[in-house]
Amino acid sequence: MRKDTTFDGRRWHDMGGTAAGPVPTEQHDFALWEKRVDALMIIASGKGHFTVDGLRRVLEDMGEEAFETMTYYERWIASVNQNLIEAGVYTTAELAQRMSKVAARGPTYGEATCD
């Protein structure tokens, strides 16, 4: 991870021109839950609950550590959620309650999803 000790006028996500290693060649297949995160972003922003700038604001505010330790769609669902709470679509209490309910259904994604 890049550790800057001086402020060069840009934030961590503004990485054009900085030094880095070889471009990674690994590719993963998108999982269903990742496709759903993508769909939720497109639908909720398309209906005016937040904007792509709102998505990016939260992603950028999460900071460099999140970029290094969370996957792409993990960061996206965190940002989508933050934006929806800010927009008043649901409350943090409703989210917490629902997440507990989801986890109680079973130990895997398939079991925790009730279609």
Partner 1 sequence: MPHDHHDHMSPSGHPYRPDDDHPLTYWQQMEIAVRELLIEKGVTTAQEISAQIDAMDARNPAQGAAVVARAWTDPAFRADLLQDASAATREMGFDIGPMRLIALENTADEHNVVVCTLCSCYPRNLLGLPPDWYKSRAYRSRTVKEPRKVLAEFGVTLPDTTTVRVHDSTADMRYVVIPARPAGTEGWSADALAALVTRDSMIGTGLPKSPDTA
9 binds partner 1 (CB under 8 A): no
Tokens 């991870």 correspond to what residue? 1
86 binds partner 1 (CB under 8 A): no
- Find out whether 80 and 40 touch, Cβ atoms under 8 Å: yes
Cα(6)–Cα(17) distance, integer angstroms: 17
Q: Is the dihedral of CA 33, 34, 37, 42 positive or negative?
A: negative
Cβ closer to partner 1: 6 or 79? 79
93 binds partner 1 (CB under 8 A): no
4 binds partner 1 (CB under 8 A): no
15 binds partner 1 (CB under 8 A): yes
Output the six-digit token pair for 57: 């604001």
Minimum Å gap between C-beta 29 and partner 1 is 8
Q: Which of 61, 65, 69, 98 binds partner 1 (CB under 8 A)?
A: 98
Q: Which DSSP category does 21 fall into?
A: -
| Residues at the contact surface with partner 1, assessed by CB under 8 A | 13-31, 33, 35-40, 42-44, 47, 49, 52-53, 56, 59, 67, 70-74, 77-78, 80-81, 84, 89-90, 94-95, 98-99, 101-103, 106-115
